[in-house]
Structure 1
Amino acid sequence: MQFGLSESQEILKDSARKFFAGECPISEVRRLMETETAYDPDLWWKLAEQGYTGIIFPEEYGGVGLGKVELILMLEEAGRALLPGPLFSTVALAGAVLDAVGTAEQKRKYLTPICRGEARSTLAMLEAAASWDPKDAQIEVLNGKLTGEKLFVPDALVADAIVVVARNGVFVADAKDSGIKTAAMPAMDLTRKLYSVRFDSVPAEKLGNADGLAKGLDVATAALVGEMVGGMQRTLDTTVEYAKTRKQFGKPIGAFQAVQHQCADMYLETESSRSAVYYAAWALQENAPDAAVAVSIAKMYASDACRTVGNRGIQIHGGMGFTWENDLHLYYRRAKASETALGDATFHRERIARLVIDAGAAAAQGA
């Protein structure tokens, strides 16, 4: 692999940064997070025009056909801008699972309108047990009807289709069906709305190959880490700038070694997370044998790092870091929400153990 971005990838990253800075400044983020859904149709169409809603999907379905690394680069800049709304839930969550699990006809049916910006979707996975392991799903589809409840479903109120992980497969339900009841749930991240979704005999279409679910969730997890890295980078940049300008005892606080150490640790954790997720994205793109492990390593590290970067950023800002007017707490909220989404550090440590240690033991026994 190349230990650096190609020219086209650098251009994509730079153009994404400029786009999000221009179309979604922090004032717009604050406006949208005060709304019921944090969704702006005009912004959504602009995202579609840029090709972001179809960035990783094949051209035959109306997508751009780029790779997993490009997805991570785009979402890194979205995380830096604290982009609200359903882009992540539509493209990285539901879209990645549809792409990994659906048949060609199902992809044409569900991915094409997403790529065109005509539809939004989301993934319903968590239940009362709060497990991110698909094997723990209890909801079932019987005779083509879905009954049960899913919790903490992002952007469900603006979704047109809901991808549901069930005990007996992966299904798609029409989000506008009269048998679906959606209720808002409290969320740490004010820019990403969460809902409980209750299904009452809702017709559901079974997707083709449930064996691809793990790959789809790996893509979603890597995408989430990319977004987390963007948030960490913005927190670091904001904190360093503040340390250069805030004066105490007649000099900038950045001149004090204790503050420098905090900033150095923030930089270390941000860059380490970035390196981990770039490799994970490359491994997924190339179908490397260690792709699943690489994804869990990236999420495990970033789950801890995003929290500590936020902690240090707020500490260096002092009392200013806790005020509503300061933007830092918004990034900290996103970091705390992302820390547990798609599995926290403990979940992924256990997954790494299963993938590496248990698999190695099984291979040794087979030999």
Structure 2
Amino acid sequence: MTATTHSPAAPGLLYSEVEDDLRAAVRSVLADRCGPAAVLGRIETDEPYDPALWRVLASELGLAGLLVPEEYGGQGASAREAAVVLEELGGAVAPTPFLGSAVLAATALLGCAGAGDAAAPLLGRLACGEVTAALAVPLPAAPGGGFPAGVRADAAGRLSGTVTSVADALTAGVLVVPAEGPDGPALHEVAAEAVQVRRPVSLDLTRPLADVTLEGVPGRLLAAGDTARAALERALLTGAGLLASEQLGTAQWCLDETVGYLKQRHQFGRVVGSFQALKHRLADLWLEVVSARAAARSAAAALAAGESPAQTAEAEIAVAVAVAQAYVSPVAVHAAEEAVQLHGGIGMTWEHPAHLYLKRAKADQIALGSPGHHRRLLAARVGLPPAP
């Protein structure tokens, strides 16, 4: 099966029929290959991702090239479809390189595609699942943070420097590396085998990070100057906006799993979920998750509209993304905390997957900009004074 492209625009923030079909396909694969037991077993190995799972998602469902236009061999879908995929991946804490390769790296490459099409060959390889890529920036790097200065390029185009906490670099075949050079900022394609990669201990064991060191490594120029700067900014903005959907999926799983558990658990001769205090906590959490869905869908819709010929103003996209990250990120953490606590003793054990969701939510909270960073961006966008 291949992901369907060109979904008709859904009214408002509702899911379209195409998006529902895509969700069902992804959910079916994850149910078969990425259940809680499989994820718990995976994090205890040295192999961060399940290559068989990624092969099905990337090639058979076409998710590797979901955001890549058809002219480059991709599916030509929009951010709305990518958001649905990330909801499902977040709900399964699936250990896959979708965010790093199919979202961050692919979006950066698309931003370079107009600069002489130097990025076209790599986009084609990425879209067909032949190779995975990683954008060589620290995972906490955020839109509006400026061009990174950790890597320098010399006059011959050889790159030197270190980038810490890079998501999905451990399994990537290619790195898209931002570097400052004699002629200003640029993005370079670098073979992963040419760099040194060290795996530090990550909080989120389902998304391990890597410290990447380059020592005079040759790079192929993809874009330079304002094009490179804009491509990187767009990649980070898209990543932050779509990360909210992953956080939404994590929060929804925590809510659903906790409600299901409290309907079965008995204490003092009663179903635990019948206690009024717990009903109030779950009702409050449900309202938070519903609001988080609206914020995440708004960000995805704004990003998708910005891809169409009738361009949505960049400022509108930035506001929608900032709102989504500022709101959804804390909701995901709260939902995971409630899941651990309301599961009682079993929720504190390694055998129960609740800790995986809490770690994913906490790691995502600082990924691509903290809630505080996005609140500051939002304040600046809407003309509010900065917090004292």
TM over 0.5: yes
2:12 maps to 1:2: yes
What does residue range 270-289 of structure 1 map to in structure 2 within 5 Å? 270-287=289-306, 288-289=312-313
Given that residues 101 and 213 in structure 1 are in contact (C-alpha distance below 8 angstroms), is that contact kept between their aligned partners in structure 2? no
Structure 1 counterpart of 2:232, one-letter code = L
| Partner-residue secondary structure (3-state), 1:150 | strand
Deviations 1:159-188 (A, max 9, x none): 1111123342322211111xx111111111
Given that residues 198 and 210 in structure 2 are in contact (C-alpha distance below 8 angstroms), is that contact kept between their aligned partners in structure 1? yes
Given that residues 138 and 167 in structure 2 are in contact (C-alpha distance below 8 angstroms), is that contact kept between their aligned partners in structure 1? no
What does residue range 242-281 of structure 1 map to in structure 2 within 5 Å? 242-281=261-300
What does residue range 1-367 of structure 1 map to in structure 2 within 5 Å? 1-47=11-57, 48-103=59-114, 105-126=117-138, 132=142, 133-143=145-155, 144-167=157-180, 168-177=185-194, 180-208=195-223, 209-210=227-228, 211-287=230-306, 288-289=312-313, 290-357=316-383
> Equivalents in 2 of 1:294, 1:137: separation in Å?
28
Q: TM-score, normalised by structure 2?
A: 0.87
Structure 2 counterpart of 1:145, one-letter code = R
Given that residues 228 and 302 in structure 1 are in contact (C-alpha distance below 8 angstroms), is that contact kept between their aligned partners in structure 2? yes
Deviations 1:14-64 (A, max 9, x none): 222122112222222122222223222222221121111111111111111
Residues 22 and 106 of structure 1, relative CA distance in 2, 3 Å threshold: farther
Given that residues 292 and 328 in structure 2 are in contact (C-alpha distance below 8 angstroms), is that contact kept between their aligned partners in structure 1? yes
> Equivalents in 1 of 2:332, 2:166: separation in Å?
22
Q: What residue is the counterpart of 1:362 in the other structure?
A: none
> Equivalents in 2 of 1:319, 1:250: separation in Å?
18
Deviations 1:218-240 (A, max 9, x none): 11112211111111111111100
Deviations 1:46-87 (A, max 9, x none): 112111111111111111111110000011111111110322
| Partner-residue secondary structure (3-state), 2:117 | helix
Given that residues 121 and 160 in structure 1 are in contact (C-alpha distance below 8 angstroms), is that contact kept between their aligned partners in structure 2? yes
Q: TM-score, normalised by structure 1?
A: 0.92
Residues 131 and 89 of structure 1, relative CA distance in 2, 3 Å threshold: closer
| Partner-residue secondary structure (3-state), 1:69 | helix
Structure 2 counterpart of 1:310, one-letter code = A
Deviations 1:134-178 (A, max 9, x none): 33534322221111100001222221111123342322211111x
> Equivalents in 1 of 2:277, 2:291: separation in Å?
21
> Equivalents in 2 of 1:112, 1:349: separation in Å?
37
Structure 2 counterpart of 1:346, one-letter code = G
Unmatched runs of 5 consecutive residues or more in structure 1:
360-367
Structure 2 counterpart of 1:341, one-letter code = A
Once the two structures are TM-superposed, the CA of residue 213 in structure 1 deviates from its matched residue by: 2.2
Given that residues 118 and 221 in structure 2 are in contact (C-alpha distance below 8 angstroms), is that contact kept between their aligned partners in structure 1? no
> Equivalents in 2 of 1:3, 1:160: separation in Å?
36
Residues 106 and 24 of structure 1, relative CA distance in 2, 3 Å threshold: farther
> Equivalents in 1 of 2:127, 2:356: separation in Å?
29
Structure 1 counterpart of 2:62, one-letter code = G
Once the two structures are TM-superposed, the CA of residue 259 in structure 1 deviates from its matched residue by: 0.6
Q: What residue is the counterpart of 2:3 in the other structure?
A: none
| Partner-residue secondary structure (3-state), 2:129 | coil
Deviations 1:90-130 (A, max 9, x none): 11121121122333623321111111111011111129xx6
Unmatched runs of 5 consecutive residues or more in structure 2:
1-10, 307-311
Once the two structures are TM-superposed, the CA of residue 207 in structure 1 deviates from its matched residue by: 2.5
Which range moves more in the overlay, 313-322 or 230-239? 313-322
> Equivalents in 1 of 2:134, 2:148: separation in Å?
19
Once the two structures are TM-superposed, the CA of residue 276 in structure 1 deviates from its matched residue by: 0.7
| Partner-residue secondary structure (3-state), 2:339 | helix
RMSD of aligned C-alpha atoms?
A: 1.8
Which range moves more in the overlay, 94-103 or 111-120? 94-103
Structure 2 counterpart of 1:19, one-letter code = V
Structure 2 counterpart of 1:121, one-letter code = A
Given that residues 67 and 74 in structure 2 are in contact (C-alpha distance below 8 angstroms), is that contact kept between their aligned partners in structure 1? yes
Larger % of helix: which?
1
Structure 1 residue runs of 4 or more that deviate by more than 4 Å after TM superposition: none
Paired residues, number: 355
Structure 2 counterpart of 1:256, one-letter code = F
